[in-house]
A and B are shown apart, each in its own frame.
Chain A
């Protein structure tokens, strides 16, 4: 079945450091890929997405490229801020309708030191 594997946390970085959170997936066909983020005291919210191979999703300075050849969707940011401290979830959706459920990874907790 479909699955998502992401790097274990916690990840602790200093402000302005470069961030990479690795995510790989297993899926049949051509899934859509997502990164969700959960800030402290809030629900999960969509950060960015990519729906086909070689697409790049971006938002709030974060980027991730859909790499079909390596089945990866790594999250990157060039210069992190304290406000980026949160739990990040990689996710995929295998179908093209709301009938196909979203499958999440285990989450990576990111802490940014001032």
Chain B
């Protein structure tokens, strides 16, 4: 079974340009998360989809970031226009857990990450 896949693995762009990152979760996983790790610091939560709906987007840094998950399958994260401080590794993760009130494993399945470098 394929794991979580992310594309591209590395993107180098100039300040002001646009970049779109893509994540394909494990088939059948309703929950999809985006995280970001900047300069070796902690992995910070960006947002959480349940199917095509945004469950929690409290971690999105500003309105230059737009995440979508049309049809509840793959997701894209667009940064427009990119700034220097957006550089980092963007991780996607998925899980299949009860939506509320049920037991959970806490296990997220991560992709290898997309490294973004803004010059």
In addition to A49-B107, A101-B59, A107-B37, 12 A-B residue pairs with Cβ atoms within 8 Å of each other are A36-B110, A38-B110, A44-B91, A46-B108, A51-B106, A97-B97, A97-B104, A98-B99, A99-B99, A103-B45, A107-B40, A107-B43
Q: List 27 A-B contacts (CB under 8 A).
A: A4-B42, A34-B106, A41-B112, A42-B112, A43-B3, A43-B4, A43-B109, A43-B113, A44-B91, A44-B93, A49-B106, A89-B43, A96-B103, A97-B97, A97-B98, A97-B102, A98-B48, A98-B55, A98-B98, A98-B100, A99-B48, A99-B56, A101-B45, A101-B59, A102-B45, A104-B42, A106-B41
Q: Which residues of B contact A (CB under 8 A)?
A: 3-4, 31, 33, 35, 37, 40-45, 48, 50, 55-56, 59, 91, 93, 95, 97-113
